Amino acid sequence: MSAPSPFDRGHTDDLMSFLAASPTPYHAVANAAERLEKAGFRQVAETDAWDATSGGKYVLRGGAIVAWYVPEGAAPHTPFRIVGAHTDSPNLRVKPRPDTGAQGWRQVAVEIYGGPLLNSWLDRDLGLAGRLSLRDGSTRLVNVDRPLLRVPQLAIHLDRSVNTDGLKLDKQRHMQPVWGLGDDVRDGDLIAFLEDTAGVPSGEVTGWDLMVHSVEPPAYLGRDRELVAGPRMDNLLSVHAGTAALAAVAGHGANLPYLPVLAAFDHEENGSQSDTGADGPLLGSVLERSVFTRGGSYEDRARAFAGTVCLSSDTGHAVHPNYAERHDPTHHPRVDGGPLLKVNVNNRYATDGSGRSVFAAACEKAGVPFQSFVSHNAMPCGTTIGPITAARHGIRTVDIGVAILSMHSARELCGAQDPFLLANALTAFLEG
């Protein structure tokens, strides 16, 4: 693979479109699947018998997607090269009884998902999107991508100490958005509105997974437009890069030494313990079925897994100009400095020395610089799907990502070049 050009703004433009079109994990995997379909991939159902044909395939389950490419003549024991990521982001999610209100305001009852920066959701124009489950067992995506909701902040005149003592938000009392006026709050109003929006007959929606999103589109920022501001970069930035890399490899992958895989999971932000999370059986099931449908035995499965490597790609922390003391003094990752290699000796990240060598080789092949990230010793370190993937499947795993600011805000910030650099590094990794 030749070295990338200094900056391909087309890739970042496409990332911004992907972010805007993916307000929920369900929309994100649908958009990833659409891109893979254009690259020749086809969906396979988990309930069907799988065949041994070569080419690109993918499985959708809820807010997760696992896609893989089988080269012509691949042996059953051929190892995998996996890009792992997650589709979910911290946000506000609608409760089972959503219709509420007080003092002449109509509100929507929401629950806090993951660990969002709550203040970033205040006084922001919000839409509503997600998945509707219908009476016949089918599902329908819905996206109200216009100003519909708002979580209004208390005026400073009624909280004079807010700028001296800090903003204090109660998750139950202070985070319920308004969406209209009136004292006649009726159960079913919100769902009836969404049925009408989605073109679903009245009374057909019997379940829902709905969440709030900012309707402000992603945008270039800065004097030279060298930064990108947008929602859900943690971690749709990695999902988009992994999808682009897999599609690129499949386009010229007849003689690949590995089976390239994209595994984008849901529920990373609350522990990954679900049937669509990294701690669930989805990835292992897909990999094993791929081995067995190509005539493999348990011995072939063991050989394939032993030679497999996963890059767990998730955003990391760029050094903050106003809070540099919160970072390790000898590790100050910068935006547009290339992807991060994330290390923690207590296994909050899965990277070890051998994994570092794999990632360094991929970056060298792609002509991409990379940086190292470690947490400040006096502060707890976050984690990713990396250690879960390594422990659950016995797969060598390396934690990487792109450096951003404002992680877990409703609107995050990255360098405009880094997404392109990450995609190139992932492509070189999947090629082997």
**295-348: pLDDT as tens digits:** 999 999 999 999 999 999 999 999 999 999 999 999 999 999 999 999 999 999
Give the per-residue pLDDT at 2.
Answer: 42
Q: Percent of the chain beyond pLDDT 90?
A: 96
Task: Give the span between the Cα atoms of 136 and 388, in whole angstroms.
Answer: 35
Give the per-residue pLDDT at 8.
Answer: 72
SS3 per residue for the chain: CCCCCCCCHHHHHHHHHHHHHCCCHHHHHHHHHHHHHHCCCEECCCCCCCCCCCEEEEEEECCEEEEEEECCCCCCCCCEEEEEEECCCCEEEEEEEEEEEECCEEEEEEEEECCCCHHHHECCCEEEEEEEEECCCCEEEEEEEEEEEEECCCCHHHCCCHHHHCCCCCCCCCCCCEEEECCCCCCCHHHHHHHHHHCCCCCCEEEEEEEEEECCCCEEECCCCCEEEECCHHHHHHHHHHHHHHHHHHCCCCCCCCEEEEEEECCHHHCCCCCCCCCCCHHHHHHHHHHHHCCCCHHHHHHHHHCCEEEEECCEECCCCCCHHHCCCCCCCCCCCCCEEECCCCCCCCCCHHHHHHHHHHHHHHCCCCEEECCCCCCCCCCCCHHHHHHHHCCEEEEEECEEECCCCCCEEEECCHHHHHHHHHHHHHHC
The CA distances from residue 112 to 44, 63, 174, 267, 278, in Å, are: 34, 18, 11, 13, 21
Q: Taking 70 as the threshold, does the pLDDT of residue 352 lie above it?
A: yes
Give mean pLDDT, residues 97-125: 97
Contacts of 160 (CB under 8 A, 6+ apart): none
Q: Taking 80 as the threshold, does the pLDDT of residue 4 lie above it?
A: no
Task: Give the span between the Cα atoms of 170 and 165, in whole angstroms.
Answer: 15
Higher pLDDT, residue 252 or 235: 235
Give mean pLDDT, residues 228-242: 98
Q: Are 59 and 68 spatial neighbours (Cβ–Cβ below 8 Å)?
A: no
Give mean pLDDT, residues 171-188: 95
Residue that is written with structure tokens 């009136």 in the block: 182
**39-93: pLDDT as tens digits:** 999 999 999 999 999 999 999 999 999 999 999 999 999 999 999 999 999 999 9
Q: Taking 90 as the threshold, does the pLDDT of residue 154 lie above it?
A: yes
Q: Are 401 and 377 spatial neighbours (Cβ–Cβ below 8 Å)?
A: no
Assign 255 a pLDDT band (cuts: 50, 70, 90).
confident
Task: Give the span between the Cα atoms of 306 and 295, in whole angstroms.
Answer: 18
Residue that is written with structure tokens 């490899």 in the block: 249
Provide the mean pLDDT of the chain.
Answer: 96
HSE, side-chain direction, 13 A CA sphere, residue 192: 5
**210-223: pLDDT as tens digits:** 999 999 999 999 99
Assign 202 a pLDDT band (cuts: 50, 70, 90).
very high
Q: Percent of the chain beyond pLDDT 70?
A: 98
Give the per-residue pLDDT at 5.
Answer: 46
Q: Taking 70 as the threshold, does the pLDDT of residue 6 lie above it?
A: no
Q: Taking 60 as the threshold, does the pLDDT of residue 205 lie above it?
A: yes
Assign 7 a pLDDT band (cuts: 50, 70, 90).
low
Assign 1 a pLDDT band (cuts: 50, 70, 90).
very low
